[in-house]
Amino acid sequence: MKQKSKWLYRFEINREVDKKVTEKKKDEEGQEIEVTKTVKETKPIKFFIKKPNRRLYDEAELFYGVKMSEGIKAGLLTRNLLSKRYEDDGGAFSEAEKERYSTIYMEIYAKEAEYQRLQVNLDNKPQELKDRIGQDILLEISELRRELIEIENSQANIFDQTAENRAKNQTIMWWVLSLSFWKEEGREKEEHFFVGEDYQNKLDTYDEYEESDDDFLNEAIKKLAFFVSFWYMGRATSEEEFGAVEELYNSQNQEEEAEEGEEAEEADQTAEKVDVEESKKEDKPKRKPKVKKQKQAEEKKETPTPEAKRETEQGSEQVAAEEEKSISAEAKGSLGKNEE
């Protein structure tokens, strides 16, 4: 008889480990020596999600009830009380939201009918025109559905802060801490990934892993929480379903890495552009305004120094004295001629 597996699912995560490698070399004298160095090696580490038994289900049910009571005691409303309160106030939707919600439904219905009529092509439109109009209609329907989902999500978010929702989220965490096992490098037996005697100790271990800079630990807790959440919601119970969940997880990770890569590339391009502009500014010679130079030169010409001013005044006095002498000599000469 085939023995039942005690695991819901198994998967691997690569981890870089230190490995000591010994090499034989010859020294300067030609003697053979052994050199040991530490190198990084990538090894797959096995993880396991345990199949829960009756005892674990009982403990989880008790845990949910305790957390539910804690939420109510802290002032959180239950889902039923919150629904009743909104019904008494006229519902979760405002009048404008109700009207818009109804309008969107009618617009989607009309657009879908228009698209179906276009496919039948009763108006005998050319194929190219038919394809273009059909594409526009599908885009409009997509936008309307997106707005409809946003309105529905806003209503769903109202019930996020309820005692039931808080208890559910904490119970999912309880299952993650209880069902996660791994086989560490060099160990023969599977062990709890989150070490601790009780829920709080295991939660402390979870926080330590999450706050660490170890990519392996962060990847492990992210993947375990992803798988256990799908299992708790009833969307992954068999090997095949968990395999599909893992494919979904990998595709999401690839999209996130691609987006991060694009953002990093854009940031590098922006930084490079800024560096080029700054270097151009530094290489460009600084020119002083010509007007200022001309003005300074004119000021120098117009405003002589005290020494130059003094020399100019003395020269003017000498010229004036010489002119007086020549004038007097000419006058005397003319007088002498007159007397004769």
Instruction: Assess whether 171 and 209 both reside in one domain.
Output: yes
pLDDT of residue 87: 62
H/E stretch holding 43: strand 32-50
Q: Which residues pair with 16 in a beta bridge?
A: 42
Q: Please list, residue by residue across 50-73, b when 16 or more beta carbons sit within 10 angstroms of its beta carbon and e when fewer do.
A: beeeeeeeeebeebbeebbeebbe
Helix axes 215-232, 239-283, angle to 10 degrees: 140
The two tokens of residue 326 are: 């020549």
CA angle 60, 62, 65 (to 5 degrees): 110
pLDDT of residue 177: 97
Indicate the DSSP class of residue 184.
-
Provide the number of structural domains found in the chain: 2
| Final residue before a domain boundary, out of 226, 260, 294 | 260
Is residue 129 within 8 Å of residue 121, measured between CB atoms? no
How do the pLDDT tens digits run along the chain, 340 residues long? Answer: 556 789 999 999 999 888 888 888 777 777 888 878 888 889 999 999 999 999 999 999 999 999 999 999 999 988 788 777 666 655 555 667 778 878 888 898 888 888 888 877 766 778 888 888 888 888 898 888 888 888 777 766 666 788 999 999 999 999 999 999 999 877 889 999 999 999 999 999 999 999 998 999 999 999 999 999 999 999 898 999 999 999 999 998 888 878 877 777 787 777 777 666 766 666 655 555 444 445 454 544 444 555 544 554 555 455 445 545 544 444 444 434 444 3
pLDDT of residue 147: 85
The residues, any chain, with a CB within 8 Å of residue 97's CB and separated by 6 or more, are 151
> Which domain covers residue 256, as residue numbers?
7-24+32-55+167-260
| Final residue before a domain boundary, out of 225, 260, 295 | 260
Instruction: Assess whether 48 and 171 both reside in one domain.
Output: yes
Instruction: Assess whether 88 and 153 both reside in one domain.
Output: yes
pLDDT of residue 322: 54
pLDDT of residue 1: 53
H runs (alpha helix) in 74-94: 79-88
The residues, any chain, with a CB within 8 Å of residue 300's CB and separated by 6 or more, are none
| Final residue before a domain boundary, out of 160, 176, 209 | 160
Instruction: Assess whether 110 and 191 both reside in one domain.
Output: no
